[in-house]
A and B are shown apart, each in its own frame.
Chain A
């Protein structure tokens, strides 16, 4: 990993305002993304992982904190000032049926990045589009079709093509394979990996599926109710998950192994995910935590180094002397 992170996030906060109250979607988050790496962002619904992804590229306006891209603070740039940075910050969405405009042809959809950023002339663009389609493993004749003529996997390839058209340094992948069948999911995962090797892009890969995240990511950040509870290199996190939530999450993965070889040490966790509108005080996981202590309801734990490149926000792991 290089010394200068591609993307640095400090103290990022994003609340959604709803009629029922303020949703703590992203609550004081720190992150670094390095060149060429894949950072996995995992968590259950309401943990704010999608909001974080969208806020990072200013699809949502952050409430506070800063987002630094290549040394430039892009947190408060205007839309016009932001435009040149968008070449480097792209996103792929979950639903391949909603992420392509049904009224436009694949050619029109894939020309958009080029025309917005003035890349290539009108004469060059058609061949650039066809090249792009080939790059994601489809036949160039797809250019003149409409999205509804494509299968889910093919649409997702087009969505990926649009995101990588300008060879960005960072692509946010927001659950890009969750809506796909297993065999198609494998195709898209392989494609994303191949593109990473080809153009050296960094991914922030958002998913609720730990198997996919574990397969693709170099580092993994675990989110719970708007906060990062643990972040660590993949092997480290996999072998010695420290946070009780990470442990529970990992043990909930159902592995397709014969019962005779599958591990059977399930750490069940009780109860529902609390509402992100009114998260528990102190440690947000304490209401479901099997090892909660009195301190957990009094102070919220900080995300601290726990050795091996891991950072954890847990009183039990960090020791009670870290309370602020």
Chain B
């Protein structure tokens, strides 16, 4: 719950660091690309627009693939999916992690023990293989992919929130609230969570990056939704032509790299802005 007056200063703080400014610029570009994909490339990413295997920086900015599809169009439409998966998966992860971690950290006791056992389970299963199994069994649709990513990645966030909630709960202002007779939910939501928020925001921002990498990995292995153009799928498809058309794997890879980099940079800047002790 950042107070209204803090919001513009937070943005300014992020932009004032070189990492934050670069990150913001990159991310804004990717967002604009995603927003205007259908304006820039009205024919869509699957349309064959010209001859196959055209190298980049010629007739087509990023060249064409083996079926003569415009790679630039794929990049633009792929941006939509990457951002969508990153955002929605993170939202689910943050919600799940905050609720489980918050309740476990606040109440302790058997709730905590049970919650920690469950998170331990989710941290032990090999996350990516777990996601592969889930998508393979349930079918490669976008909601399944997002769900799989969320299911295998929420546990670390829950543990982080739990640890933070526990430490804030041990502070004396919470005891002061208890001694005034304040209710549990009010203490947890109004008093404790705002103090944990900066941690959640920072961890969440990094989670977006991880989710994008996850999705790219899944669709690279052929577990993407076949009706959707994604960066991972493009790289996977380009593998067979790696000897002749290097750009087919290189360019979408750079797209993933820059997007993830942008989010990580913003995450670092957020961490510095919200968490001054991490500075120095």
Where the two chains meet, the residues of A that have a C-beta atom closer than 8 Å to any C-beta of B are 54, 57, 59, 79, 82-83, 86, 89-91, 93-95, 98-104, 112-113, 116-117, 159, 162-163
**B residues in contact with A89, CB < 8 Å:** 179
A91 contacts B181, C-beta separation under 8 Å = no
Q: How far is the CA of A100 from the CA of B177 in the complex (A)?
A: 10
Query: Which residue from A82, A94, A98, A102 sits with its C-beta under 8 Å from B181?
Result: A82
Q: Let me know if B181 and A83 touch, CB within 8 A.
A: yes
Tell whether, in the assembled complex, residue B172 and residue A95 are in contact, meaning their CB atoms are under 8 Å apart.
yes
**Which residues from chain B contact A104 at a C-beta distance below 8 Å?**
191, 194
B181, A103: Cβ atoms under 8 Å? no
Asked if B180 is an interface residue, CB under 8 A from chain A, the answer is yes
8 contacts between A and B (CB under 8 A): A83-B181, A93-B176, A95-B172, A99-B173, A99-B176, A100-B173, A159-B176, A163-B176
Within 8 A of A (CB), among B139-191: 171-173, 175-182, 191
Residues of A within 8 A of B172 (CB): 93-95, 98-99
A102 to B178 CA separation, bound complex (whole angstroms): 17
Q: Indicate whether A101 sits within 8 Å of B181 (C-beta atoms), given known contacts A93-B176, A159-B176, A162-B176.
A: no
Task: Given A93-B172, A98-B173, A103-B1, answer yes or no on A86-B195 (Cβ-Cβ < 8 Å).
Answer: no
Given contacts A101-B191, A101-B195, contact A59 B175 (CB under 8 A): yes
Q: Is the CB of B194 within 8 A of A103?
A: yes
Main DSSP-derived SS at the B contact region: helix
Interface residues, chain B, with chain A CB atoms under 8 Å away = 1, 171-173, 175-182, 191, 194-195
Contact A86 B180 (CB under 8 A): yes
Q: Contact between A91 and B175 (Cβ–Cβ < 8 Å)? A: yes
Alpha-carbon separation in the docked complex, A99 to B195 (Å): 13
Total of A-B residue pairs, C-beta within 8 Å = 54
Q: In chain B, what residue has the closest Cβ to A103?
A: B194
Residues from chain A with Cβ under 8 Å of B181 in the complex: 79, 82-83, 86, 116-117
Residues of A within 8 A of B175 (CB): 54, 59, 91, 93, 99
Q: Chain A's nearest CB lies how many Å from the CB of B184?
A: 8
A104 to B171: give the CA distance in the assembly, Å: 14
CB of A71, distance to nearest CB on chain B (Å): 20
Are B182 and A116 touching (Cβ within 8 A)? yes
Least CB distance from A219 to B in Å reads 23
Q: How far is the CB of B179 from chain A (nearest CB, A)?
A: 5
In angstroms, Cα B174 to Cα A112, docked, is: 12
Complex CA distance for A90 and B179, rounded to whole angstroms: 6
B277 CB, min distance to chain A CBs, angstroms:
13
Q: Using Cβ atoms and an 8 Å threshold, which residues of chain A touch B176?
A: 91, 93, 99, 159, 162-163
Give the shortest distance, in Å, between B177 (CB) and chain A (any CB): 7
Q: Which residue of A lies closest to B184 (CB)?
A: A79
Interchain CB contact under 8 A, A86 and B173: no
Contacts of A98 in B (CB 8 A): 171-173
Question: B178: which A residues are within 8 A, CB to CB?
Answer: 59
